[in-house]
């Protein structure tokens, strides 16, 4: 099992323009801490909300199987981003809720009106990103200390 690399693939073309950001294939079934930083090159102020997040075994045009919908706990996304401003989306993705095995993890930021632009490479290119595999949580038990 391995964490995703920090390489981002611009994906999900529509009208010859990519509409999402995906990882390379990786095999990990725990939780990931995700930080994605973009720059707003749209020329407009963007009002953001929670992004769409899903997994697939292949990317278009070779998408394989049904998409998985992992639980995504949003930690931070700015409500508003002015032109030329960098913005960061941070959260925790729980991959234990999707099919195990090799997969791509895909993100599509969303505006408050429920849309996203169709040319992510030019309108909001990735500046930096980080994927950190989190250790499994273990149960802790209270131990009663008895001195004799």
CA distance 73 to 13: 26
Cis amide leading into 61 (omega within 30)? yes
Under 8 Å between Cβ of 42 and 122: no
Please tell me the predicted confidence (pLDDT) of residue 116: 77
CA distance 68 to 116: 20
**Four-point Cα dihedral 100, 61, 66, 35, nearest 10:** 50
What confidence tens digit (pLDDT) does each residue in 100-142 have? 899 999 999 888 887 776 789 999 999 999 999 998 754 445 5
Q: Would you call 112 exposed, middle or buried from its count of C-beta atoms within 10 A (0-12, 13-18, 19+)?
A: exposed
What confidence tens digit (pLDDT) does each residue in 26-73 have? 999 899 999 999 999 999 999 999 999 999 998 887 777 778 999 999
In this structure, what DSSP letter does residue 59 have?
A: -
Q: Would you call 39 exposed, middle or buried from its count of C-beta atoms within 10 A (0-12, 13-18, 19+)?
A: middle
Please tell me the predicted confidence (pLDDT) of residue 140: 44
Residue 85 three-state SS: coil
Please tell me the predicted confidence (pLDDT) of residue 113: 84
> What domains does the chain contain, in order, with CATH numbers?
8-133 (2.60.40)
CA distance 104 to 36: 15
């Amino acid at each position: 099992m391995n964490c995703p690399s920090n390489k981002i693939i611009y994906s999900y073309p529509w009208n010859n323009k990519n509409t999402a950001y995906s990882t390379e294939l990786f095999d990990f079934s725990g939780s990931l801490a995700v930080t994605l930083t973009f720059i707003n090159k749209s020329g407009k102020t963007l009002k953001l909300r929670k992004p769409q997040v899903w997994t697939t075994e292949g990317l278009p045009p070779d998408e394989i199987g049904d998409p998985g919908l992992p639980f995504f706990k949003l930690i931070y996304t700015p409500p508003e981003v002015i032109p030329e401003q960098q913005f960061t989306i941070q959260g925790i993705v729980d991959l234990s809720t999707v099919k195990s095995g090799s997969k791509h993890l895909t993100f599509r930021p969303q505006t408050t009106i429920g849309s996203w632009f169709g040319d992510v490479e030019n309108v909001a290119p990735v500046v930096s990103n980080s994927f950190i595999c989190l250790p499994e949580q273990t149960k802790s038990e209270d131990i009663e200390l008895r001195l004799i």
